[in-house]
Structure 1
Amino acid sequence: EPVKLRKERNKKPPAKDQLYPKLTKIDNLPGA
Structure 2
Amino acid sequence: MDYGKFNVREGQERAVNAKKEAAHEPMSRK
TM-score class, shorter: 0.3 to 0.5
Higher normalized helix content (fraction of residues):
2
Higher RCO (CA-CA < 8 Å; seq separation 6+): 1
